[in-house]
A and B are shown apart, each in its own frame.
Chain A
């Protein structure tokens, strides 16, 4: 069961060989025309404006946020608004932040570990039924979570996991995306000769994984980890279903609680969105290239 927003395309094995490697990629043919520049600058402004607007409103009093004309410059109330959000007992934003770190972190570690193990098996080991099992994994990525939401909810109730973190963690510990991505990478990053040589030296399969394969998979593991963390941090649908009790939310669900107040306090809501976005913003600033590289790598098909 997955609801990946970032899905891998179905790639043909061996496609990398037909592609020029990064170093040899030729420069673009044409210079950007003035019209192209206008489009690009407009695109950048539209992409970034909502982030700026988030800061503007989060740093204003609510009265100033709801004024005419709307404010366009940041004010000085950011710290105050953040304090108000964190003190808001209905939303439990602090609890939500901690829960989100815990849930997303656990899933990220598990996905990278199980994904690399299974990806290694599918790429480099021989076993009966391999192709059929891989097909099941691919098919599992196509199924939306809504299809099984009701029995899953009943199951969570029976396990007494409703309103607890295992309900949003355990089902997502490993998904098809992680396995598939690791398999694609392992196929070209780990030479068969290396594995055979390790076998001849008497290495067990586990030792081969740990000492030969895992180090080679590190770049892909980093990208998978980043994408998984982002995706899990931003989950909304399933947590909304199973974490109905506002006392124990993830951060996205506490945003919802901020919004359901009778009187919508926009500066507080925006301070909340800022808090919920900040961790990913930091990750993006630090690892933006890898994230973009991961999306672009994952997209190229033969």
Chain B
């Protein structure tokens, strides 16, 4: 058997004869194929996005201007009333905003700093470097639900691991759910545990694309390693730091599962006895599913989105300034 290098050619070199009409039809088919195939290939996304993405978003804007509720037989247009009430006369919403931002700041800053340090360590000559990378990355395979349940027990008031460790060094046990800052701290560590490794890998990848010449030149000039880290590595990582900051902002302001499952029992959505760790997303579902004020929930969703967009821009500008000062 001989090797057939032109698999597409008919085996015995005989091409099927085509009439003129047939070849014309084939040509127009080819033209249609060239013209319409690309649209066909991208169509599935746009169909799904139109139905399950764009339409709900547009509808949210409309709902937020009404008093729609499954309890109301008629829906009336109320203009900006929902927004006015939300911003001027809703202490529970502002409580949720403070909680969300508090936990966001408490988790993001150490998360990115520790990730940066870890990445710098992983960027050294190491034996078993794959083991280290995998061990550091492993928390990302757990779901936020699993993380929340494990840490709930670690932070239990009685028999909890952290309180046991505190007891060893002579500190009184802390009621991690009752105290606002304690609960924020506990929830922040849940977020950090899951995401530090992920961010460290992202920083590591970016560090490895920094040219070695810069470090060699700096070494020749007598710059210490610490100096090199702050004067070469960090500025070179600027786009990556901005990226991780924005990702953390989007994730942090949507915080939901960890605080929800921090309370066992059915009342999780209220975020503690006095809402001390209720986040904006929890409040959104609270309004939607417990109070059935759907129009109002629409307003909460829109304000949350605006906050996320605003914070992303602020982070971007901040990160740009900090690094270009160097």
B-side contacts of A7, CB under 8 Å: 247
The answer on a CB contact under 8 Å between B136 and A69 is: no
Give complex CA distance A174, B41 in Å: 12
With contacts A53-B161, A114-B45 known, is A296 near B204, CB below 8 A? yes
The answer on a CB contact under 8 Å between A29 and B215 is: yes
Pairs across A and B, CB under 8 Å, 11 listed = A5-B251, A9-B243, A32-B121, A127-B39, A147-B60, A149-B301, A150-B288, A154-B294, A276-B145, A277-B141, A299-B243
Secondary structure of the B contact surface, majority rule: helix
Q: Does A70 contact B (CB under 8 A)?
A: yes
A156 to chain B, nearest CB (A): 9
- Which residue of A has the minimal Cβ distance to B49? A140
Give complex CA distance A51, B132 in Å: 16
- The residue among A47, A126, A230 with the most chain B CB atoms within 10 A of its own CB is A47
Encode contact with A along B215-251: 1 for CB under 8 Å, 0 otherwise.
Answer: 1100000000100000000000001100100010011
The answer on a CB contact under 8 Å between B257 and A237 is: yes
Interface Cβ pair total, 8 Å cutoff: 303
Q: Does A190 contact B (CB under 8 A)?
A: no
Q: Does B28 contact A (CB under 8 A)?
A: no
The answer on a CB contact under 8 Å between A125 and B38 is: yes
Q: Does A27 contact B (CB under 8 A)?
A: yes
* A296: contacting residue among B143, B205, B304, CB under 8 A: B205
Given contact pairs A29-B215, A137-B45, A276-B146, a sample of 17 additional A-B residue pairs in the complex whose CB atoms are under 8 Å apart:
A29-B212, A30-B124, A36-B121, A47-B138, A47-B139, A51-B142, A54-B146, A70-B159, A140-B53, A153-B288, A155-B51, A241-B285, A273-B142, A289-B130, A295-B137, A299-B240, A301-B240
Encode contact with B along A202-233: 1 for CB under 8 Å, 0 otherwise.
Answer: 10111001000000000000000000001001
**Interface size range on B against A:** 35 or more
A185 to chain B, nearest CB (A): 16
B-side contacts of A234, CB under 8 Å: 142-145
The answer on a CB contact under 8 Å between B124 and A237 is: no
* B284: contacting residue among A149, A204, A272, CB under 8 A: A149
Q: Does B151 contact A (CB under 8 A)?
A: yes
Give complex CA distance A297, B285 in Å: 36
Encode contact with B along A161-197: 1 for CB under 8 Å, 0 otherwise.
Answer: 0000000001101111001000000000000000000
With contacts A148-B60, A266-B153 known, is A31 near B55, CB below 8 A? no
The answer on a CB contact under 8 Å between B206 and A300 is: yes
**Interface size range on A against B:** 35 or more
- Which residue of A has the minimal Cβ distance to B57? A148
B172 to chain A, nearest CB (A): 15
The answer on a CB contact under 8 Å between A237 and B256 is: yes
With contacts A48-B138, A148-B56, A260-B266 known, is A32 near B49, CB below 8 A? no
Give complex CA distance A118, B152 in Å: 42
The answer on a CB contact under 8 Å between A150 and B125 is: no
The answer on a CB contact under 8 Å between B142 and A133 is: no
The answer on a CB contact under 8 Å between A118 and B45 is: yes
Give complex CA distance A26, B215 in Å: 13
With contacts A44-B135, A291-B137 known, is A151 near B55, CB below 8 A? yes
The answer on a CB contact under 8 Å between A150 and B143 is: no
